[in-house]
């Protein structure tokens, strides 16, 4: 049975039993503490924790998930995969243990002809929590399982919580006995390779308190509404039903592995090392495909860095298998063909996906070349000093600066007869991880409100009456205040900054790339400036305000007023973003899909996948297409409709956003621009005024960013450009249309003057070099030249070295000083290196370790200028000892 069929069969089964089918949420999550969805229950978390009422009593989904905490284990074992799919059925205060067990047993064991999976009931084992007599009894009653196949286990295995105070409960896991070929008898407590877990049923029935670990917390009592959260591993079930050994051999993964084996001339199963690399390729190419499909772009931070690392590990693994050519062009289409049965968007959007992936591979191949050069130089230095251990700091530099994986460094160093200081590297990596964790903790504490303090407000008063689409002014009541210290307060005074919850508000909360509104709260005895507006919980809008006069208290009635000019600017910028996006697609083609945006009054930026700069002509075409749309005064129409209808209309969705059953569609000129959007917009395109492109830049491999000034600010930008051209024309005494020619002529003259000056400096240096070489001092048979210069120290050192007699060891040490610090360059002639001298060693010795290079040429610096004389004199002592 194909994996896609296992997936659809699961959804059909639960839909027939009253479950609402919920589409998979995108892999990127809006949760700042979580990069990607890593479990099937993540999209349902607000309903399971009580943060928001569930829209349905029961639901089912097949959720895409990515886990990268154990990415180094991918391929080493056959259990670990970074991308996986979790089939789940959920009950929100509806059914509980008996029905959950019955559903799982029926679907697992019913014949395939009747819509089940047809597993042999005699080979299914289950585990329950040691205290859960109820679950054990249900398994005996519903499934007829004998006691010996119902295994009781402890908290570590069969009790679930989210790691924080909130819902928790026992769980029951289903295992399938794959037979003696896979391990020992005795059930899952003895061998979890033979007995493969394929389904976990979580019974959320308790509330847990504070505490660490899986057992260090109290149970506070029963939940008022008990929930069911189950997860069946789709890849695990495919492994069982397709009769293969592991998840790398199922139909959605094996074709990628086979294509990698074909490219590299490797046979899967021949040796462990090659098998690991083939599995890494198969997993990572599929994972990258799905992340790119959901709008993640390679980058240097957060989600982008995870994707970049996954792509580079795949490329590197193919390289280590002996394939030197670009590999993703062969492998990514194989992954697309595997996944398109379940996710048609990977085929529909493959042009954009592949463009980004191939650009990243090209960039990494260039990085590999640079890193290889750095590594070769470092290995040469180690050998020149008589060592055999590459410092951990050098391996870390290769990893951190050049993106060089440590295992590649280890292998290449080994090929050259050098080991790597792995302990030193590990220590530096640990320091970096701790800095990253500390930074994440700081961002979490600084950038996120304590939702536990706001949830009672939502529970007591319900969702905020949000009027941002309808009005700029409401009469509102203060429901709650969080003071400057973050905790609840009854009142805040002039000069203090506080978080305010109102019963109703006209303020737009930051979302969908649009900045939040600005404005004021005004009461009988208070004035406050609104600084920021957010939605920390579904349905709850909160305002960060600065009290400018009087006192604001809980229960006060205030007028909440949006700054009308600010909102107009925001509407212009957001509509301009849609217009620019449509213009990009009109000029560049459908592959130029928005991958992120930000807009505020007067300004917008828009990211989109593209290889290389647009160029002046393409930029001009895009800008003209956008402004022609504004001149035509295209109508702006906003409609609510079912998600399926919006998709049928071809409405574009922003990558990474999660949409409900009903969506808001914004059209500008009908089908010309049709997007799902929750932002505020103008009524007619002409109200935008003008879109003036101000910048285009790279924001990662295969990703470009356009920035533009909009509306009044756009006119201001064009006016400043006009004035600048006028001043240049006046200063250069040229008509405006001749300015490019005049500037080009001036640049040519400057280039010629620079070349002449460089030639003069070179001749002067050569003459100076001859004089310095003639004045070389004899230090125990080695000719030594030392001097301080204002010229190019490296060029002068090389020139002096080349003029020293070839039959005697020669050392040229040339120093410069800048801003009170000194730099030293040392160059050796061939006779000196043959005699065993090393420029790198001399620089490090003279400057107390500050410097590096090769045996022939090295440079270092950073010492105070007043210490330079001693350093140069110290060279004589070093040569004397030699």
Q: What Å distances lie between residue 877 and 449, 474, 786, 843, 870, CA to CA?
A: 64, 83, 13, 13, 11
Distance between CA 227 and CA 210 in Å, rounded?
Answer: 21
Determine whether the annotation assigns residue 681 to a binding site.
yes
Contacts 24+ apart (CB under 8 A), 339-346: 339/252, 339/286, 339/289, 339/290, 341/2, 341/3, 341/4, 342/3, 342/4, 342/7, 342/62, 342/85, 342/252, 343/290, 343/293, 345/293, 346/289, 346/290, 346/293
Determine whether the annotation assigns residue 272 to a binding site.
no
Q: What is the DSSP string of 416-469?
A: TT-EE-HHHHHHHHHHHHHHHHHHHHHHHHHHS--HHHHHHHHHHH-S-EE-TT
Contact 234, 227 (CB under 8 A): no
Distance between CA 81 and CA 282 in Å, rounded?
Answer: 10
β-sheet bridge partners, residue 707 = 605, 695
Contacts of 401 (CB under 8 A, 6+ apart): none
Contact 225, 206 (CB under 8 A): no
- Helix %, strand %, coil % of the chain (to 5): 45, 25, 30
Q: Which of 574, 575, 601, 568 is nearest to 472 (CA)?
A: 568
Other Cβ atoms closer than 10 A to 544: 17
Residue with tokens 């007829």: 144
Distance between CA 559 and CA 648 in Å, rounded?
Answer: 42
Contact 80, 95 (CB under 8 A): no
Helix (H) or strand (E) segment spanning residue 381: helix 350-384
Contacts of 5 (CB under 8 A, 6+ apart): none
Structure tokens given for 506 = 């006209």
Quick one: how far is CA 846 from the chain centroid?
Answer: 44
Determine whether the annotation assigns residue 574 to a binding site.
yes
β-sheet bridge partners, residue 62 = 87
Structure tokens given for 31 = 């949760």
Distance between CA 784 and CA 781 in Å, rounded?
Answer: 9
Residue ranges for the known binding site are 574, 578, 677, 681
Residue ranges for the known binding site for Zn(2+) are 574, 578, 677, 681
């Amino acid at each position: 049975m194909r994996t896609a069929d296992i997936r659809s069969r699961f959804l059909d089964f639960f839909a027939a039993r009253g479950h609402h089918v919920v589409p998979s949420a995108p892999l990127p999550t809006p949760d700042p503490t979580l990069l990607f969805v890593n479990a099937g229950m993540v999209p349902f978390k607000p309903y399971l924790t009580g943060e928001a009422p569930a829209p349905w009593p029961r639901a089912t989904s097949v959720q895409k998930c990515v886990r990268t905490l154990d990415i180094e284990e991918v391929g080493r074992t056959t259990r670990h995969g970074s991308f996986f799919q979790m089939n789940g059925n959920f009950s929100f205060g509806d059914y509980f243990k008996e029905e959950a067990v019955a559903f799982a047993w029926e679907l697992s064991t019913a014949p395939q002809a009747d819509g089940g999976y047809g597993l042999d009931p005699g080979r299914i084992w289950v585990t329950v929590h040691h205290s859960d007599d109820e679950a054990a009894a249900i398994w005996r009653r519903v499934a007829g399982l004998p006691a010996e196949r119902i295994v009781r286990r402890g908290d570590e295995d069969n009790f679930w919580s989210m790691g924080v105070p909130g819902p928790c409960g026992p769980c029951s896991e289903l295992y399938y006995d794959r037979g003696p070929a896979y391990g020992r008898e005795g059930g899952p407590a003895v061998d979890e390779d033979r007995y493969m877990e394929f389904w976990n049923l979580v019974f959320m029935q308790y509330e847990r308190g504070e505490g660490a670990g899986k057992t260090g917390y109290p149970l506070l009592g029963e939940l008022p509404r008990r929930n069911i959260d189950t997860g069946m591993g789709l890849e695990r079930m495919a492994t069982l039903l397709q009769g293969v050994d592991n998840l790398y051999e199922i139909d959605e993964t094996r074709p990628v592995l086979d294509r990698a084996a074909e490219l590299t001339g490797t046979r899967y199963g021949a040796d462990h090392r090659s098998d690991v690399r083939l599995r890494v390729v198969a997993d990572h190419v599929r994972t990258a495909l799905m992340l790119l499909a959901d709008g993640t772009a390679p980058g240097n931070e957060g989600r982008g860095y995870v994707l970049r690392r996954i792509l580079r590990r795949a490329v590197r693994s193919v390289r280590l298998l002996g394939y030197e050519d670009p590999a993703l062009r062969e492998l990514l289409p194989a992954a697309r063909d595997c996944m398109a049965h379940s996710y048609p968007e990977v085929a529909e959007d493959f042009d954009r996906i592949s463009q980004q992936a191939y650009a990243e591979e090209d960039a990494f191949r260039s990085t590999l070349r640079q890193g290889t050069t750095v590594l070769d130089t470092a290995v040469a230095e180690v050998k020149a000093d008589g060592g055999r251990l590459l410092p951990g700091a050098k391996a870390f530099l290769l990893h951190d600066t050049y993106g060089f994986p440590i295992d590649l460094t280890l292998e290449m160093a080994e090929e050259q007869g050098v080991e790597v200081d792995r302990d030193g590297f590990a220590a530096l990596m640990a320091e970096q991880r701790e800095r990253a964790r500390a930074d994440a903790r700081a961002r979490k504490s600084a950038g996120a409100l304590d939702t536990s303090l706001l949830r009672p407000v939502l529970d007591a008063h319900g969702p905020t009456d949000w009027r941002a689409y309808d009005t700029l002014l409401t009469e509102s009541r203060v429901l709650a205040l969080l003071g400057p210290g973050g905790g609840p307060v009854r009142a805040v005074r002039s000069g203090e900054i506080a978080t305010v919850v109102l019963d109703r508000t006209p303020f737009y909360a930051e979302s969908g790339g649009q900045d939040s509104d600005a404005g004021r709260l005004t009461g009988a005895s208070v004035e406050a400036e609104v600084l920021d507006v957010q939605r920390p919980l579904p349905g709850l809008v909160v305002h960060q305000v600065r009290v400018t006069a009087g006192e604001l208290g809980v229960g006060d009635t205030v007028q909440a007023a949006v700054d009308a000019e600010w909102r107009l600017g925001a509407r212009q910028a957001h509509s301009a973003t849609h217009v620019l996006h449509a213009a990009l697609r009109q000029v560049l083609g459908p592959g130029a899909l928005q991958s992120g945006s930000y807009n505020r009054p007067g300004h917008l930026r828009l990211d989109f996948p593209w290889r290389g700069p647009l160029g002046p002509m393409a930029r001009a075409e895009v800008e003209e297409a956008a402004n022609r749309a504004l001149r035509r005064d295209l109508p702006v129409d906003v409609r609510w409709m079912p998600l399926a209808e919006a998709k049928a209309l071809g409405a574009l969705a922003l990558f990474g956003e999660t949409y409900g059953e009903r969506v808001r569609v914004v059209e500008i000129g009908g089908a010309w621009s049709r997007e799902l959007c929750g932002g505020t917009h103008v009524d007619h395109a002409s109200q935008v005024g003008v879109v003036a492109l101000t910048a285009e830049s790279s924001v990662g491999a295969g990703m470009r960013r356009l920035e533009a000034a909009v509306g009044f600010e756009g006119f201001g930008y064009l006016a400043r450009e006009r004035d600048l051209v006028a001043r240049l024309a006046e200063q250069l005494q040229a008509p405006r249309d001749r300015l490019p020619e005049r500037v080009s002529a001036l640049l040519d003259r400057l280039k010629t003057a620079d070349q002449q000056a460089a030639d003069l400096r070179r001749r002067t240096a050569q003459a100076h070099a001859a004089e310095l070489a003639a004045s070389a001092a004899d230090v125990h048979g080695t000719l030594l030249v030392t001097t301080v210069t204002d010229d190019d120290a490296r060029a002068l050192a090389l020139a002096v070295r080349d003029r020293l007699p070839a039959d005697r060891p020669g050392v040229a040490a040339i120093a410069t000083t800048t801003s009170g610090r000194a730099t030293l360059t040392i160059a050796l002639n061939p006779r000196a290196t043959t005699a065993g001298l090393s420029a790198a060693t001399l620089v490090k010795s003279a400057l107390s370790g500050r410097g590096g290079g090769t045996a022939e040429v090295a440079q270092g610096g950073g010492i105070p200028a007043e210490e330079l004389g001693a350093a140069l004199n110290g060279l004589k002592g070093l040569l004397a000892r030699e």
